[in-house]
Amino acid sequence: MLRSRLIGAVAVGCLGLSAFARGGDVAGTSVLGRKAENFTLNDFYGKSHSLADFKDKKVVVLAFLGTECPLARQYGERLAELNHKCADKGVQFLGVNANRQDAITEIASYARIYHVEFPILKDLNNKLADQLGASRTPEIFVLDQDRAVRYHGRIDNQYGIGYAKKTASEPYLKTAIEELLAGKPVAQAETGVVGCFIGRVRAADATAKVTYSNQVSRILNKRCVSCHREGEVAPFAMTSYAEVSGWADAIAEVVQQRRMPPWLADPKYGHFANDRSMPEDEKQVLYQWASAGAPEGDPKELPVPPKFVDGWALPKNPDAVFYNMKGEFAVPATGVVEYKYFAVDPGFKEDKWIKAIEARPGDRGVVHHIIVFSQPKGTRDEGRRQFLVGYAPGAVPMVLPRGFAKMVPAGSELLFQMHFTPNGKPGKDRSRVAIVFADPKEVTHLVRTVEAINTGFEIPAGADNYKVEATSFAFPFDAELIQLFPHMHFRGKQFDYEARYPDGKREMLLDVPNYQFAWQLTYELASFKHLPKGTVIHCTAHFDNSENNPNNPDPKSIVRWGDQTWEEMMIGFYDIALAVSQSDIQNHKLPDFNPGADEIAQRILERFDKNHDGKVSQKELPLDNFRVKLFFMSMDKNKDGEITREEIASFIKERQKQGETGRGVGRRLGGGRRGQRGQHADGPGNHDQKPAEQKPADQKSPGGKDQAQ
């Protein structure tokens, strides 16, 4: 069986945030004006601190924190910086940890890693949290000199559930402090709290029928522990009662809201082998357990812990391992790192057939995703790239069925696309890919990742449901559909795939009604679907570029195609398999995935011929795009100000002779930039959309390799 690739993206410190956080909630009862009573709590050194100790301070900031909450980690250094800047202005910062699951040693480690110099107090039994009404981490309460709450809510708006903006446009806490010091009322005194539930100490129902030791541990082992265990990417482990009990309310919340386990497909369409959705009876068990105070039960009833393979998760030791660079890439503690590309020469002297491949980061905490391509050495033509494998938290290797394999031509190089996500502390990464080769004599099917793609869209500022479509070129051969992988960025809202068969029938293959960039999943078909010659794949996507989208980096901007997450993509990836003979393999006569020049020319004509007269005039082109204008002039052989289907096809054939693929020409005319993955089965885009402006590609960095023994 094909083993699925779960591409679970990890914006802002990872899947734990999208799993155990909530956005935009303001408490039902306002705490503004509430006076904080004096309290005495110990820090992690055992030193006692009372609120009354700071009577000379004009402002006291109480920051409820958790050592494992991704947002609390992301904001650790931000709070440390604010404390440093305000230290001589009469402002006292106090951290408060009310989590039952956070040990004193873990609090000390948090302070050391994030350079927190102000006291972090342990709120045993949640007394201070209960007094103030704190419910999440990080959650801020700012007290004036009378110790009344004058600000309550978030630190700023840079980080949230599954997203990280370049900078904070609303520094809520900083502004509130400045206004109080200036003797002014706080203009925005309450903001929606975003973060993880505080793991409160609660009396468990000793008579409860649902316990951790019996039912709950078994559900977690089945659904969660693959990521939520020591050494993996999830921010905390779910392998013991002591750890899990403090997260009971959070677990119930994210399951109820269908944020975890991650599965986004509408069940009305398709059947998928890697369906991670949780059955209703298991959900009810978790709800009952949290409601009963998370009782432990009898530890003797615990199941045998699941076993996981250390190191590579391939079916056998890899034949080769290649690193993305010779040294390490330094990832900053905060901010946004643009995509990085590393080219590696694997030294392939002959065609290589790949039956299993796995990508792994050096530092899981800072790697959002890895995509590894093969491409002709030194090429700049994206159309000649072939997707090989991807990594994101929760991903498993690509392991193809017996006889199925991807082919990398001799002389190819590997290209690593790296997306790094700062998580609050500096990191260093050296990622790698491991490969198991197939014996060419055993190969019966060639597997390729192809795509329906639109690079020419322009999403208007403020649009809340902008539609973009893409249709693949017709298959020139029969094929077997293996799996689907939709890809958009932060403004992505909905995505679906439809097969359009040559007999006129249509079939919805997949609908993702609530697309989430933080969980980009691969959908592996439970059984391969036959696609007869002439079939096309039609994809429809909707984007939300409005202020109502909390993940939107900038609702006031017009959004075009681009690699970075504040730009957008519209790609419907899918894997197909084609039968090949040994004669085809030996004679290098494999199926050609590139559409012909005439077909590409027809698609380009359909895109730009707005008056449907069978040709394209200069008036019909977006001539503000210099690249499109240049291509038009090159294609207009007779200089009559119009280009015909024949002129377009002739131009494409000339470029193909120079080594560029027809798809590359089509994409350039579509106005898009570098693609992200694999072979293209795309047309230039929708008829009524303007092409995006061309921007220079990132430079590639040299890479190193390591041949495994």
User: In this predicted structure, what is the pLDDT of residue 6?
Assistant: 41
3-state helix, strand, coil in the chain (%, to 5): 20, 30, 50
Residues paired with 391 in a beta bridge: 370
Which residue in the block uniquely carries the two structure tokens 């329906």? 452
The residue type of 216 is: V
User: In this predicted structure, what is the pLDDT of residue 668?
Assistant: 54
User: In this predicted structure, what is the pLDDT of residue 365?
Assistant: 77
Output the CA–CA distances (angstroms, integers) from residue 354 to 401, 415, 442, 686, in the order listed. Answer: 11, 16, 12, 35
User: In this predicted structure, what is the pLDDT of residue 510?
Assistant: 98
- What is the total residue count of the chain? 709
Q: What is the 3-state secondary structure (H, E, C) of 459-479?
A: ECCCCCCEEEEEECCCCCCCE
Q: Does domain 597-677 have CATH number 1.25.10?
A: no
- Residues 10 and 233 sit within 8 Å (Cβ to Cβ): yes
The residue type of 42 is: N
Closest CA to 309 of 212, 434, 430, 417: 434
Tens-place pLDDT, residues 250-268 = 898 889 888 788 889 999 9
At residue 122, φ and ψ (nearest 5 deg) are -90, 115
Name the average pLDDT for the chain: 84
Which residue in the block uniquely carries the two structure tokens 């399951």? 255
User: In this predicted structure, what is the pLDDT of residue 557?
Assistant: 94
User: In this predicted structure, what is the pLDDT of residue 506?
Assistant: 98
One-character DSSP codes across 21-60: -EEEE--SS--TTPBPPP-EEEBTTS-EEEGGGGTT-SEE
The pLDDT of residue 522 is above 50: yes
The residue type of 126 is: N
User: In this predicted structure, what is the pLDDT of residue 162?
Assistant: 65
Q: What is the 3-state secondary structure (H, E, C) of 644-686?
A: EHHHHHHHHHHHHHCCCCHHHHHHHHHCCCCCCCCCCCCCCCC
- What's the rounded Cα separation, in Å, for the pair 69 and 682? 41
User: In this predicted structure, what is the pLDDT of residue 130?
Assistant: 95
User: In this predicted structure, what is the pLDDT of residue 80?
Assistant: 96
CATH homologous superfamily for the domain 15-197:
Glutaredoxin (3.40.30.10)
User: In this predicted structure, what is the pLDDT of residue 310?
Assistant: 66
Tens-place pLDDT, residues 666-677 = 555 554 433 333
At residue 153, φ and ψ (nearest 5 deg) are 150, -135
Q: What is the 3-state secondary structure (H, E, C) of 530-570?
A: EECCCCEEEEEEEECCCCCCCCCCCCCCCECECCCCCCECC
| Type and span of the H or E element at 254 | helix 248-256
Of the pLDDT bands very low, low, confident and very high (cuts 50, 70, 90), residue 226 is confident
Read off the pLDDT of each residue in 81-98 and give the average, rounded to a whole number: 96
Tens-place pLDDT, residues 305-314 = 988 766 788 8
Closest CA to 472 of 500, 440, 430, 505: 500
- What's the rounded Cα separation, in Å, for the pair 559 and 103? 45
Domain borders along the chain are 15-197, 212-301, 312-440, 597-677
User: In this predicted structure, what is the pLDDT of residue 677?
Assistant: 37
Of 249 and 707, the one with more pLDDT: 249
| DSSP strand pairing (352-360 vs 320-323) | unpaired
Q: Is the peptide bond before 261 cis (omega within 30 degrees of 0)?
A: yes
Helix axes 662-670, 626-635, angle to 10 degrees: 130
Of the pLDDT bands very low, low, confident and very high (cuts 50, 70, 90), residue 29 is confident
- What's the rounded Cα separation, in Å, for the pair 3 and 31? 51
The pLDDT of residue 618 is above 50: yes
Total-model pTM: 0.73
User: In this predicted structure, what is the pLDDT of residue 364?
Assistant: 80
Among 105-119, 230-244, 376-390, 652-666, name the one with the lowest average pLDDT: 652-666
Read off the pLDDT of each residue in 123-142 and give the average, rounded to a whole number: 95
Tens-place pLDDT, residues 404-426 = 999 999 999 999 999 888 877 78
The pLDDT of residue 7 is above 70: no
Token pair recorded at residue 673: 């930039």
At residue 609, φ and ψ (nearest 5 deg) are -80, 85
Within a 10 A sphere around the Cβ of 653, how many other Cβ atoms? 15
The pLDDT of residue 634 is above 60: yes
Tens-place pLDDT, residues 591-603 = 877 777 787 887 7
Among 2-11, 86-95, 162-171, name the one with the lowest average pLDDT: 2-11
- What's the rounded Cα separation, in Å, for the pair 228 and 232? 7
Read off the pLDDT of each residue in 393-399 and give the average, rounded to a whole number: 76
The dihedral over CA atoms of 455, 459, 464, 470, expressed in degrees to the nearest 10, equals -20
- What's the rounded Cα separation, in Å, for the pair 591 and 477? 8
- What's the rounded Cα separation, in Å, for the pair 148 and 132? 11
User: In this predicted structure, what is the pLDDT of residue 615?
Assistant: 86
Of 638 and 693, the one with more pLDDT: 638
The pLDDT of residue 508 is above 50: yes
Read off the pLDDT of each residue in 456-484 and give the average, rounded to a whole number: 93
Read off the pLDDT of each residue in 237-259 and give the average, rounded to a whole number: 87
Among 4-8, 33-37, 377-381, 681-685, name the one with the lowest average pLDDT: 681-685
Topology, domain 312-440: Jelly Rolls (2.60.120)
- What's the rounded Cα separation, in Å, for the pair 100 and 343? 47
Sign of CA dihedral 56, 57, 60, 65: negative
- Residues 175 and 189 sit within 8 Å (Cβ to Cβ): no
- Residues 247 and 101 sit within 8 Å (Cβ to Cβ): yes
Of the pLDDT bands very low, low, confident and very high (cuts 50, 70, 90), residue 461 is very high
The pLDDT of residue 122 is above 90: yes
At residue 388, φ and ψ (nearest 5 deg) are -110, -50
- Residues 32 and 63 sit within 8 Å (Cβ to Cβ): no
User: In this predicted structure, what is the pLDDT of residue 230?
Assistant: 79
Of the pLDDT bands very low, low, confident and very high (cuts 50, 70, 90), residue 24 is very low
Tens-place pLDDT, residues 550-600 = 888 889 999 998 877 789 999 999 999 999 999 999 988 888 777 777 878
